[in-house]
Structure 1
Amino acid sequence: MPQLAVDGAQLTYDDEGPRDAGTAPLVFLHGWTADRHRWDHQTAHFAPHRRVIRLDLRGHGESSGTGARTIEDLARDVTALLDHLGVGRFVPVGHSMGGMTAQTLALAHPGRVERLVLVNSLGRRTYSRARGLLMAASTRVPFKLFVAADIRRAFAPGHPRHEVREYIRASAAMFREVVMTLYSAMRAFDVLDRAGEIRVPTLMVHGYHDIQLPVRQMPRPAKDYEDAEIRVLDAGHELPVEKPAELTAVLDRFLDRPPARA
C-alpha cells in the first residue's frame, strides 16, 4: 500500500478509481480505533466509476505515528495527503471520529469541500449517565477492558459475536497513547455553534440503536445546515459494517441528487 510521511507519521492510504470521472473524489474517514477497511463495501461500489481515497489515520491500521492531540491534527494529516495527491475539491465521508474530522475539514476549507457526509457523527458530544460513567472509568480500569466495553456498546444487539470480538482485538492492540489521547480529543470536540457556516449539501446518517452518539442528538446540528438530509437506519454505531449495503445505497442517492437550493 502507498504511504506518505507526514509530521512524524507514515500514513497508509488507498487511491482507487478513475481520475477523470468528472466528479469530486470521495474521501472516506474511519472512526476511533478503526481503519480504512471499515469502508470496504463502499469502496468496492464507488471505485469502478469514481475516484475513492481512504486512509488509516495516524496510529490506526497500517499507519504509524502518535502525536495527534486534537481532531484538527487529524484534519491536517488528511489535508496533507490530499495536497500530495493533487486533489482540489472533494467529498469527505466520515464515520464517528472521522465525521468530526470531516466537519473540521469543511470549516477549514469551505472552497474545497463539495458535499459532506456524516455517519454516526455529531458536532458536539453530550452524554447519558452510563456514558459518563464509562468515561470517568476510562483512566481507572485496565486499558483492554475499557476498549472492550466501549467497542461492545457500539454494535446493535444481535450483531455476530465473532465480528465484535475481532474488532475488540484489533482496537485493543493499538498503542494506548493513541487510543486514549484521541478519546479525549473526541470529548473536547465542539463545532456545534459553527454548523451554520457549513453551506454545502450535507447528509447525516445515523443508527437508530446508536448509544454512543444517540440519534436524538442529531437534529440539533442539522437545523443549522443550509441543505441537510437526515437518514436513520436500523443499526447501532457501526453503520459501515452493520448495514453496509443500506449505507452505500443512501450515499449513492445523496451523491446523485442536485443541491436543494439549486
Structure 2
Amino acid sequence: MDATVSSASLDFWVPSQEAWANSKKRVELPNGMSMAYTDFGDPSGAPLLLIHGYTDNSRAWSLNGPYLRGRRLIAIDLRGHGQSSVTDTYSVDELANDVALFIDKLGLGKIDVAGHSLGSITAQVLAAFYPDKVNSIVLVNSTLKVNAGPGEFLWDTVMDLSYPLDPDGALMSEWFWNPTPIDPTFLHYSIQEAARTDERTWRGVLRALSTTDLAPIQSLIKAKVMIIWGDLDPLFDLGSQEALRAVHPDAEILTIEGAGHNPNWEHPEKVAKAILRFLAR
C-alpha cells in the first residue's frame, strides 16, 4: 500500500514514510513563494498546523500523525525546505509571514499551531504578529534566542560545510543523533532530504537565527501556550526553558526526561497525546 491507515476507517489517514514525499500538495502564495504541505489526519477535524525544524520538512511530524486523532493535520515545508521555494533570505519574520499567507490561502481561519525548534520560533513570531490567526501554540524544544553566531557549534559546523552534503557522512550522523532510538525508516528519509537541502537554506537560516531575539515580542502573544522540552537537549538548555517559561507563566509545561532535541520523534505518542490534551482544554 502507498499509505498507512491508522484505523479501520479511511476517515483518518497518514501517509507512509515511503509515500510521504509524493503525498504533498502545493500552493502559490501572494508573495511569490510556492509552499508545499501534507494534508492528512481527519479531514473533518479542526485543523492543527504543524511546523518543522531546521533542515527538516513536513515529514518531521509524520511519527506523531497516527496519535493526533480527531484533527485535520496540515504539515508545511517552510521556505527552502522540502519541496517549497528556495530563497536567499530566511528571517523569522519572513517565515512567519509565509505561514500567515498560507493560512489565508487555505481559508483555515484562526487555528492551533505546533512547532518544533525552528518551527517553534516561527510559531512564536506568527502568534505575536498575526494574533488573529492563532488560538494556541505548542512549542517543542524552543527558545527565545539561539546561540548560533560565530564561535558557536551551529555556526562553526554549518558555515564550513561543502555542499551538497553526503547523507552517509559524519555530519548527518551527528545532526540526527538522538538519545532515544528513532524509527529507522523515518530517519533514513529524513537524512536523505536534509542532505539535499540547498546551501542557501542551511546558511541563510543560520544567519537569520544568529541575530534573532524573540524576548521583546513576547507580550504580543495572546494565544494559549504549551512548552514541551527534552531535558537532554544539547541546543536549547534549561536556561533557555526558564527564560521562555518566565515570559509565559501560565503556559502548560511538559518536560520529557531522557529525551534530546527531538522529543516528538523520540516519544511520538507521548508528545501527540499531550498536545491533544492541551488543545482540548
Q: Shorter chain as normaliser: what TM range?
A: 0.7 to 0.9
RMSD over aligned CA atoms reads: 2.9
8 Å Cα contact 1:198/1:226 also seen in 2: no
Matched, 1:214 2:214: no
Counting only pairs closer than 5 Å after superposition, residues 16-31 of structure 1 correspond to structure 2 as 16-17=40-41, 21=45, 23=46, 25-31=47-53
What is the CA-CA distance between 1:168 and the residue it aligns to? Answer: 3.6
* 1:235 maps onto 2:264 in alignment: no
Partner of 2:211: 188
Q: Once the two structures are superposed, what CA deviation does each residue of 1:38-59 show, in whole Å capped at 9, x if it has no partner?
A: 111333333x522221111122
| Equivalent pair of 1:89/1:112 in contact (CA under 8 Å) | yes
Partner of residue 135, structure 1: 155
1:45 to 64, 67, 70: 67
Counterpart code for 2:174: R
From the two aligned structures, give the one with the greater helix fraction: 1
1:11 — aligned with what? 35
Contact 1:16 1:51 in 2 (8 A): yes
TM-score by length of 2: 0.79
Q: Closer, same or farther in 2 for the Cα pair 1:82/1:243, shift >3 Å?
A: same
Task: State how far apart, in whole Å, the 1-side matches of 2:201 and 2:149 are.
Answer: 25
| Displacement after TM superposition at 1:232 (Å) | 1.1
> In structure 1, what residue type is equivalent to 2:38?
D
Say if 2:176 is the partner of 1:172.
no
Partner of 1:253: 277
Cα displacement (A) at 1:85: 1.0
Structure 1 CA distance for aligned equivalents of residues 134 and 87 of structure 2: 27
Task: Label 1:207 to 1:150 Cα distance change in 2 as closer, same or farther (>3 A).
Answer: farther
Q: Determine the structure 1 residue equivalent to 2:12.
A: none
Matched residue, 2:178: 156
- CA distance in 1 between counterparts of 2:104 and 2:48 reads 14
Alpha-carbon distance in structure 1 between the residues aligned to 2:162 and 2:223: 43
Change over 3 Å in CA distance of 1:37–1:141 after alignment to 2? closer
Alpha-carbon distance in 1 for matches of 2:188, 2:170:
8
Shift of 1:165: 6.2
- The CA deviation at 1:216 is 3.2
User: Using a 3 Å threshold, how does the CA distance of structure 1 residues 37 and 137 change in structure 2: closer, same or farther?
Assistant: closer
Gaps of 5+ in 2: 1-23
Q: Which amino acid aligns with 2:179?
A: P
Instruction: From 225, 234, 238, give the equivalent of 1:202.
Output: 225
Alignment match of 1:33 (pick from 41, 55, 71)? 55
Moved more, 131-140 or 206-215: 131-140
Instruction: Give 1:242 shift.
Output: 1.5
Match of 2:119, SS state, is helix
Q: Give the distance between the partners of 1:110 and 1:40, measured in 2 at CA.
A: 27
Indicate how the Cα distance of structure 1 residues 135 and 84 shifts in structure 2: closer, same or farther if over 3 A, else same.
same
Q: Unaligned regions of 5+ residues in structure 1, if any?
A: 258-262
**Contact 1:240/1:247, CA 8 A, preserved across alignment:** yes
Q: Percent identity?
A: 27
Displacement of 1:167 in angstroms is: 3.7
How far the C-alpha of 1:60 sits from its partner, in A, is 1.3
Amino acid at match of 2:113: P
Q: Which amino acid aligns with 1:179?
A: W
Contact 1:41 1:244 in 2 (8 A): yes
Rounded Cα–Cα distance in structure 2 between residues aligned with 1:15 and 1:81: 13
